[in-house]
Structure 1
Amino acid sequence: MDLPGQDEGSQPLVDRLISVSAAFEGSEEIAQARDLARSFLADVQAVHGLPVSGRAVGVVQLVVSELVTNARKYAPGPCLLTLEVSEGAVEVTVWDSEPRLPLAQGADPDRVGQHGLEIVMAVCQSFEMHREPVGKRIKAAIVLADDPLGDVGGGQVL
Protein backbone atom coordinates (compact mmCIF):
# COMPACT_ATOMS: atom_id res chain seq x y z
CA MET A 1 0.00 0.00 0.00
CA ASP A 2 1.28 3.46 -0.92
CA LEU A 3 1.35 6.25 1.62
CA PRO A 4 0.24 9.83 0.92
CA GLY A 5 3.01 11.77 -0.83
CA GLN A 6 4.26 8.58 -2.43
CA ASP A 7 3.98 7.49 -6.05
CA GLU A 8 3.00 3.90 -6.71
CA GLY A 9 6.06 1.69 -6.31
CA SER A 10 8.47 4.48 -5.50
CA GLN A 11 10.09 6.15 -2.55
CA PRO A 12 8.40 8.99 -0.61
CA LEU A 13 8.58 12.32 -2.45
CA VAL A 14 10.37 14.05 0.44
CA ASP A 15 13.19 11.51 0.24
CA ARG A 16 13.83 12.06 -3.47
CA LEU A 17 16.92 13.95 -4.45
CA ILE A 18 16.23 17.15 -6.36
CA SER A 19 19.30 17.77 -8.49
CA VAL A 20 20.67 18.36 -11.95
CA SER A 21 24.19 18.10 -13.40
CA ALA A 22 25.83 19.16 -16.62
CA ALA A 23 29.34 19.30 -18.07
CA PHE A 24 30.63 22.44 -19.76
CA GLU A 25 33.64 22.64 -22.06
CA GLY A 26 33.64 26.09 -23.64
CA SER A 27 33.36 29.65 -22.40
CA GLU A 28 30.30 30.15 -24.61
CA GLU A 29 28.52 27.61 -22.41
CA ILE A 30 28.63 29.87 -19.32
CA ALA A 31 25.29 31.39 -20.39
CA GLN A 32 23.91 27.84 -20.70
CA ALA A 33 25.03 27.14 -17.11
CA ARG A 34 23.10 30.22 -15.90
CA ASP A 35 20.06 29.13 -17.92
CA LEU A 36 20.28 25.65 -16.38
CA ALA A 37 20.30 27.21 -12.90
CA ARG A 38 17.24 29.37 -13.65
CA SER A 39 15.35 26.45 -15.20
CA PHE A 40 16.26 24.16 -12.30
CA LEU A 41 14.97 26.67 -9.73
CA ALA A 42 11.77 27.17 -11.74
CA ASP A 43 11.21 23.39 -11.55
CA VAL A 44 12.04 23.33 -7.84
CA GLN A 45 9.22 25.81 -7.30
CA ALA A 46 6.67 24.67 -9.92
CA VAL A 47 7.15 20.90 -9.85
CA HIS A 48 8.33 20.28 -6.30
CA GLY A 49 6.41 23.10 -4.58
CA LEU A 50 9.37 24.53 -2.72
CA PRO A 51 9.49 28.32 -2.26
CA VAL A 52 12.25 30.07 -4.22
CA SER A 53 12.77 33.81 -3.75
CA GLY A 54 13.70 36.11 -6.60
CA ARG A 55 16.87 36.98 -4.72
CA ALA A 56 17.81 33.28 -4.57
CA VAL A 57 17.36 32.95 -8.34
CA GLY A 58 19.65 35.93 -8.98
CA VAL A 59 22.27 34.85 -6.46
CA VAL A 60 22.36 31.26 -7.75
CA GLN A 61 22.80 32.49 -11.32
CA LEU A 62 25.60 34.82 -10.18
CA VAL A 63 27.37 32.05 -8.26
CA VAL A 64 27.02 29.58 -11.15
CA SER A 65 28.35 32.18 -13.58
CA GLU A 66 31.36 33.05 -11.43
CA LEU A 67 32.33 29.47 -10.55
CA VAL A 68 31.89 28.07 -14.07
CA THR A 69 33.73 31.07 -15.54
CA ASN A 70 36.68 30.49 -13.19
CA ALA A 71 36.72 26.76 -13.97
CA ARG A 72 36.70 27.43 -17.71
CA LYS A 73 39.35 30.15 -17.40
CA TYR A 74 41.86 28.44 -15.11
CA ALA A 75 41.42 24.67 -15.56
CA PRO A 76 42.06 22.54 -18.63
CA GLY A 77 39.25 20.34 -19.88
CA PRO A 78 35.59 20.33 -18.95
CA CYS A 79 33.99 21.32 -15.67
CA LEU A 80 31.00 19.70 -14.03
CA LEU A 81 28.17 21.74 -12.47
CA THR A 82 25.75 20.14 -10.02
CA LEU A 83 22.76 21.90 -8.46
CA GLU A 84 21.08 20.11 -5.55
CA VAL A 85 18.39 21.13 -3.11
CA SER A 86 19.17 20.25 0.50
CA GLU A 87 17.64 21.55 3.73
CA GLY A 88 16.07 24.71 2.29
CA ALA A 89 19.09 25.68 0.21
CA VAL A 90 20.47 25.00 -3.22
CA GLU A 91 24.02 23.69 -3.28
CA VAL A 92 26.03 24.79 -6.29
CA THR A 93 28.98 22.48 -6.85
CA VAL A 94 31.59 22.92 -9.57
CA TRP A 95 34.33 20.37 -10.22
CA ASP A 96 37.28 21.06 -12.50
CA SER A 97 40.62 19.41 -13.24
CA GLU A 98 42.90 22.09 -11.71
CA PRO A 99 44.07 20.95 -8.25
CA ARG A 100 45.14 24.42 -7.05
CA LEU A 101 42.53 26.04 -4.83
CA PRO A 102 41.67 29.64 -5.68
CA LEU A 103 42.50 32.44 -3.27
CA ALA A 104 40.10 35.29 -2.60
CA GLN A 105 42.00 38.53 -2.82
CA GLY A 106 41.64 41.20 -0.18
CA ALA A 107 39.32 44.09 -0.83
CA ASP A 108 40.94 46.60 -3.16
CA PRO A 109 38.74 49.21 -4.82
CA ASP A 110 41.56 50.03 -7.27
CA ARG A 111 41.87 46.44 -8.55
CA VAL A 112 40.18 45.84 -11.88
CA GLY A 113 38.67 42.36 -12.05
CA GLN A 114 39.27 39.26 -9.94
CA HIS A 115 36.48 40.08 -7.47
CA GLY A 116 34.31 37.06 -8.33
CA LEU A 117 35.42 34.71 -5.57
CA GLU A 118 35.10 37.34 -2.84
CA ILE A 119 31.59 38.20 -4.12
CA VAL A 120 30.58 34.53 -4.15
CA MET A 121 31.86 34.05 -0.60
CA ALA A 122 29.95 37.15 0.56
CA VAL A 123 26.54 36.16 -0.86
CA CYS A 124 26.46 32.47 0.08
CA GLN A 125 25.23 30.79 3.24
CA SER A 126 28.27 28.50 3.11
CA PHE A 127 31.32 28.04 0.92
CA GLU A 128 33.76 25.11 0.73
CA MET A 129 36.75 24.14 -1.42
CA HIS A 130 38.25 20.66 -1.52
CA ARG A 131 41.02 19.04 -3.51
CA GLU A 132 39.93 15.82 -5.17
CA PRO A 133 42.05 12.91 -6.43
CA VAL A 134 41.79 14.73 -9.76
CA GLY A 135 41.20 18.48 -9.59
CA LYS A 136 39.08 20.31 -7.06
CA ARG A 137 35.46 20.73 -6.01
CA ILE A 138 33.95 24.05 -4.93
CA LYS A 139 30.57 24.08 -3.19
CA ALA A 140 28.44 27.08 -2.26
CA ALA A 141 24.99 27.03 -0.65
CA ILE A 142 22.29 29.66 -1.16
CA VAL A 143 19.05 29.81 0.87
CA LEU A 144 16.01 29.24 -1.36
CA ALA A 145 13.34 31.34 0.38
CA ASP A 146 14.99 34.23 2.13
CA ASP A 147 12.72 37.18 1.41
CA PRO A 148 11.91 38.76 4.81
CA LEU A 149 8.53 39.95 3.46
CA GLY A 150 7.52 36.42 2.57
CA ASP A 151 7.48 37.09 -1.17
CA VAL A 152 8.80 33.69 -2.21
CA GLY A 153 8.56 34.56 -5.89
CA GLY A 154 10.46 37.80 -5.35
CA GLY A 155 8.37 39.34 -8.08
CA GLN A 156 10.58 37.67 -10.66
CA VAL A 157 9.26 35.40 -13.35
CA LEU A 158 11.20 32.18 -13.30
Structure 2
Amino acid sequence: MDDKAVRDRAAGEGDRESLVSEFLSVSAAFEDSEEIGAARDLARGFLTEVQSVHGLPVSGRAVGMVELVVSELVTNARKYAPGPSLLTLDVQGGAVEVSVWDSSTALPLILPPDPSRVGQHGLEIVMALCQSFAVHREPVGKRITAVIALTESPGWS
Protein backbone atom coordinates (compact mmCIF):
# COMPACT_ATOMS: atom_id res chain seq x y z
CA MET A 1 0.00 0.00 0.00
CA ASP A 2 1.46 3.39 -0.95
CA ASP A 3 1.74 6.36 1.44
CA LYS A 4 -1.38 8.08 0.09
CA ALA A 5 -3.47 4.95 0.58
CA VAL A 6 -2.22 4.68 4.16
CA ARG A 7 -3.10 8.35 4.81
CA ASP A 8 -6.52 7.95 3.17
CA ARG A 9 -7.27 4.85 5.20
CA ALA A 10 -6.14 6.56 8.41
CA ALA A 11 -8.34 9.54 7.56
CA GLY A 12 -11.32 7.24 6.93
CA GLU A 13 -11.41 7.88 3.19
CA GLY A 14 -11.20 5.47 0.30
CA ASP A 15 -11.52 1.71 0.73
CA ARG A 16 -13.14 0.89 4.08
CA GLU A 17 -12.54 -2.84 4.10
CA SER A 18 -11.98 -4.49 7.47
CA LEU A 19 -9.32 -2.78 9.58
CA VAL A 20 -9.18 -5.65 12.08
CA SER A 21 -5.60 -6.38 11.03
CA GLU A 22 -4.59 -2.74 11.59
CA PHE A 23 -2.61 -1.83 14.71
CA LEU A 24 -4.18 0.99 16.72
CA SER A 25 -2.43 2.60 19.69
CA VAL A 26 -2.55 5.53 22.09
CA SER A 27 -0.19 6.54 24.93
CA ALA A 28 -0.07 9.16 27.65
CA ALA A 29 2.11 9.99 30.64
CA PHE A 30 0.62 10.64 34.07
CA GLU A 31 2.45 12.40 36.89
CA ASP A 32 0.02 12.57 39.80
CA SER A 33 -2.87 10.72 41.35
CA GLU A 34 -5.37 13.37 40.28
CA GLU A 35 -4.85 12.23 36.68
CA ILE A 36 -6.27 8.71 37.17
CA GLY A 37 -9.65 9.92 35.91
CA ALA A 38 -7.92 11.28 32.81
CA ALA A 39 -6.38 7.84 32.23
CA ARG A 40 -9.86 6.26 32.34
CA ASP A 41 -11.18 8.97 30.00
CA LEU A 42 -8.33 8.27 27.57
CA ALA A 43 -9.18 4.55 27.56
CA ARG A 44 -12.92 5.15 27.05
CA GLY A 45 -12.32 7.71 24.28
CA PHE A 46 -9.80 5.47 22.53
CA LEU A 47 -12.14 2.46 22.54
CA THR A 48 -15.04 4.64 21.36
CA GLU A 49 -12.87 5.77 18.43
CA VAL A 50 -11.76 2.19 17.71
CA GLN A 51 -15.44 1.33 17.26
CA SER A 52 -16.83 4.48 15.62
CA VAL A 53 -13.92 5.45 13.36
CA HIS A 54 -12.24 2.12 12.65
CA GLY A 55 -15.35 -0.07 12.73
CA LEU A 56 -14.07 -2.68 15.16
CA PRO A 57 -16.61 -4.25 17.51
CA VAL A 58 -16.15 -3.14 21.12
CA SER A 59 -18.66 -4.23 23.76
CA GLY A 60 -19.77 -1.95 26.57
CA ARG A 61 -18.57 -4.63 28.96
CA ALA A 62 -15.07 -4.47 27.43
CA VAL A 63 -15.00 -0.67 27.79
CA GLY A 64 -15.92 -0.97 31.46
CA MET A 65 -13.34 -3.68 32.09
CA VAL A 66 -10.59 -1.68 30.35
CA GLU A 67 -11.49 1.44 32.36
CA LEU A 68 -11.26 -0.57 35.59
CA VAL A 69 -7.94 -2.20 34.63
CA VAL A 70 -6.49 1.18 33.60
CA SER A 71 -7.67 2.72 36.86
CA GLU A 72 -6.13 -0.04 39.00
CA LEU A 73 -2.79 -0.16 37.15
CA VAL A 74 -2.32 3.62 36.94
CA THR A 75 -3.36 3.98 40.60
CA ASN A 76 -0.71 1.43 41.63
CA ALA A 77 1.94 3.12 39.49
CA ARG A 78 1.15 6.52 41.00
CA LYS A 79 1.01 5.10 44.52
CA TYR A 80 4.17 2.98 44.51
CA ALA A 81 6.59 4.54 41.99
CA PRO A 82 8.29 7.93 41.90
CA GLY A 83 8.05 10.07 38.79
CA PRO A 84 5.70 9.73 35.85
CA SER A 85 4.01 6.58 34.61
CA LEU A 86 3.22 5.77 30.99
CA LEU A 87 -0.07 4.20 29.88
CA THR A 88 -0.24 2.58 26.45
CA LEU A 89 -3.31 1.00 24.88
CA ASP A 90 -2.78 -1.18 21.80
CA VAL A 91 -5.60 -2.82 19.83
CA GLN A 92 -4.84 -5.75 17.60
CA GLY A 93 -6.40 -9.13 16.93
CA GLY A 94 -9.70 -8.49 18.72
CA ALA A 95 -8.14 -7.45 22.04
CA VAL A 96 -6.74 -4.40 23.77
CA GLU A 97 -3.40 -4.58 25.52
CA VAL A 98 -3.23 -2.24 28.51
CA SER A 99 0.38 -1.52 29.45
CA VAL A 100 1.58 0.66 32.31
CA TRP A 101 5.26 1.48 32.78
CA ASP A 102 6.61 3.01 35.96
CA SER A 103 10.06 3.76 37.34
CA SER A 104 9.99 1.39 40.32
CA THR A 105 12.00 -1.83 40.04
CA ALA A 106 9.92 -3.45 42.82
CA LEU A 107 7.64 -6.09 41.34
CA PRO A 108 4.03 -5.99 42.49
CA LEU A 109 2.96 -8.32 45.25
CA ILE A 110 -0.01 -10.35 44.08
CA LEU A 111 -1.84 -11.46 47.19
CA PRO A 112 -4.10 -14.53 47.27
CA PRO A 113 -7.83 -13.82 47.41
CA ASP A 114 -8.92 -12.97 50.95
CA PRO A 115 -12.45 -11.62 51.44
CA SER A 116 -11.60 -10.45 54.96
CA ARG A 117 -8.72 -8.22 53.76
CA VAL A 118 -9.62 -4.55 53.45
CA GLY A 119 -7.97 -3.03 50.38
CA GLN A 120 -5.12 -4.27 48.20
CA HIS A 121 -7.44 -6.17 45.83
CA GLY A 122 -6.46 -4.18 42.70
CA LEU A 123 -4.23 -6.75 41.00
CA GLU A 124 -6.61 -9.52 42.04
CA ILE A 125 -9.38 -7.67 40.19
CA VAL A 126 -7.15 -7.01 37.15
CA MET A 127 -6.16 -10.65 36.91
CA ALA A 128 -9.80 -11.77 37.12
CA LEU A 129 -10.79 -9.49 34.21
CA CYS A 130 -8.02 -10.08 31.70
CA GLN A 131 -7.10 -12.86 29.29
CA SER A 132 -3.42 -12.52 30.19
CA PHE A 133 -1.34 -10.63 32.71
CA ALA A 134 2.43 -10.10 32.71
CA VAL A 135 5.05 -8.13 34.59
CA HIS A 136 8.34 -7.34 32.83
CA ARG A 137 11.40 -5.65 34.24
CA GLU A 138 12.62 -2.85 31.99
CA PRO A 139 16.10 -1.25 31.85
CA VAL A 140 14.51 1.37 34.10
CA GLY A 141 11.49 0.27 36.13
CA LYS A 142 8.89 -2.26 35.08
CA ARG A 143 5.97 -2.70 32.70
CA ILE A 144 2.70 -4.38 33.67
CA THR A 145 0.54 -5.63 30.80
CA ALA A 146 -3.02 -6.95 30.79
CA VAL A 147 -4.91 -8.11 27.69
CA ILE A 148 -8.71 -7.81 27.46
CA ALA A 149 -10.99 -9.04 24.64
CA LEU A 150 -12.90 -6.32 22.80
CA THR A 151 -16.06 -8.45 22.75
CA GLU A 152 -17.45 -11.12 25.03
CA SER A 153 -16.17 -14.62 24.57
CA PRO A 154 -18.74 -17.43 24.23
CA GLY A 155 -19.72 -18.60 27.69
CA TRP A 156 -19.29 -15.22 29.42
CA SER A 157 -22.42 -14.00 31.06
Q: Does 1:72 align with 2:89?
A: no
* Counterpart residue number, 1:136: 142
Q: Does 1:21 align with 2:27?
A: yes
Structure 2 partner of 1:10: 6
TM-score normalised by the chain length of structure 1: 0.85
SS at match of 1:113: coil
User: Identity over aligned residues, as a percent?
Assistant: 69
C-alpha separation in 1, matches of 2:25 and 2:64:
18
Which residue does 2:41 correspond to in 1? 35
1:8 deviates by: 2.9
Alignment-mate amino acid for residue 132 of structure 1: E
Q: Structure 1 residue 69: deviation in Å?
A: 0.1
What's the CA shift for 1:84?
A: 0.5
Alignment RMSD: 2.0
Runs of at least 4 residues off by over 6 Å: none
Which amino acid in structure 2 is aligned with residue 87 of structure 1? G
Give the equivalent residue in structure 2 for 1:109.
115
- The answer for unaligned runs of 5 or more in structure 1 is 150-158
Q: Which amino acid aligns with 1:129?
A: V
Q: Where do 5+ consecutive residues of structure 2 fail to align?
A: 11-18
Match of 1:58 among 48, 64, 68: 64
Asked if the contact 1:55/1:147 (under 8 Å) is kept, the reply is no
Report if the CA contact (8 A) 1:56-1:144 is conserved: yes
